[in-house]
């Protein structure tokens, strides 16, 4: 995807460090939510400090050579990243995984089907939260989430799309729009909306957005991408860390067979 504006790396870096003036920040965000190319660059830059931080500490879960390569591939797209990577070097070898006490369930025949099953999920519950943008926006969101609760995802998508257009930095609407797409067999649109939610930074939906992106990867059979996303959920050390670790264990169980 080509971008007509193509912000310089330096501008994106200043944005991520929170150094842009409010108007510049808003202009950049309005653009990159609609521009796949810029969104991808912002995400890569966001991933960089996380990946480097992971490289420095003893990993809590077993290191996987494949995940490692994925991280490197993402890093190498940025020239400065590659230099940093060489300076810091690979992360230390992992300690072996602790033995699990649980008995292994009877393995299903098809590993890909098992992974898809792991990626399936029940609709996450919606807890109403105060939102920026005023009463009419809040009413529209409440209306759309009413459809969500009654599992009318097509109506929910229509309503949430309106909210997102009016308030591009509203994380609740973006997150549930992504979920609705995933629930209606529109995985690419779902992942794109969840990525935009992630790009909003430190919101109440950051962790969950990553978790559901990982599930979408699993449903599509993209194991490395799923692992990579789950390791980021774990790194956030939040409410969904345990669920992410469990999913990683389930993946390894399927893959080892
Ligand atoms: Zn762009």
160-196 pLDDT, tens per residue?
999 999 888 889 999 999 999 999 999 999 999 999 9
pTM: 0.62
CA of 255 to the centre of ligand 1 (A): 38
Does 113 or 228 have the greater pLDDT score? 228
| Ligand 1 mean position, distance from CA 132 (Å) | 25
pLDDT digits (tens, 9 = 90+) for 192-229: 999 999 998 888 999 999 999 999 999 988 899 999 99
How close is the Cα of 2 to the center of ligand 1, in Å? 7
**Cα 233 to ligand 1 centre (Å):** 27
Burial group, residue 48, by CB count within 10 angstroms (0-12, 13-18, 19+): buried
Strands (E), 22-115: none
Residue 8 buriedness (CB in 10 A; 0-12 / 13-18 / 19+): exposed
């Amino acid at each position: 995807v080509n971008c007509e504006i193509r912000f310089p790396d330096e501008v994106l870096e200043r944005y991520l460090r929170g150094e842009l003036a409010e108007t510049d920040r808003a202009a950049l965000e309005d653009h990159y939510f609609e521009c796949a190319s810029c969104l991808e660059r912002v995400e890569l830059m966001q991933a960089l400090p996380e990946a480097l931080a992971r490289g420095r500490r003893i990993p809590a879960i077993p290191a996987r050579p494949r995940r490692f390569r994925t991280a490197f591939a993402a890093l190498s797209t940025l020239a400065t990243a590659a230099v940093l990577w060489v300076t810091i070097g690979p992360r230390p070898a992992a300690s072996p995984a602790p033995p699990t006490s649980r008995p292994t369930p009877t393995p299903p025949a098809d590993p890909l089907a098992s992974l898809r099953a792991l990626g399936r999920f029940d609709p996450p519950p919606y807890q109403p939260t105060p939102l920026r943008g005023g009463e009419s926006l809040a009413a529209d969101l409440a209306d759309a989430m009413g459809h969500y609760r009654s599992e009318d995802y097509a109506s929910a998508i229509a309503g949430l799309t309106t909210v997102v257009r009016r308030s591009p930095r509203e994380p609740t609407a973006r997150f549930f729009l992504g979920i609705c797409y995933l629930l209606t067999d529109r995985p690419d649109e779902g992942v794109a909306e969840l990525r935009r939610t992630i790009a909003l930074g430190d919101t109440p939906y950051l962790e969950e957005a990553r978790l559901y992106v990982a599930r979408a990867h699993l449903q599509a059979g993209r194991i490395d991408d799923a692992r990579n996303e789950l390791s980021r959920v774990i790194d956030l050390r939040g409410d969904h860390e345990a669920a992410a670790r469990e999913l990683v264990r389930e993946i390894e169980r399927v893959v080892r067979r």
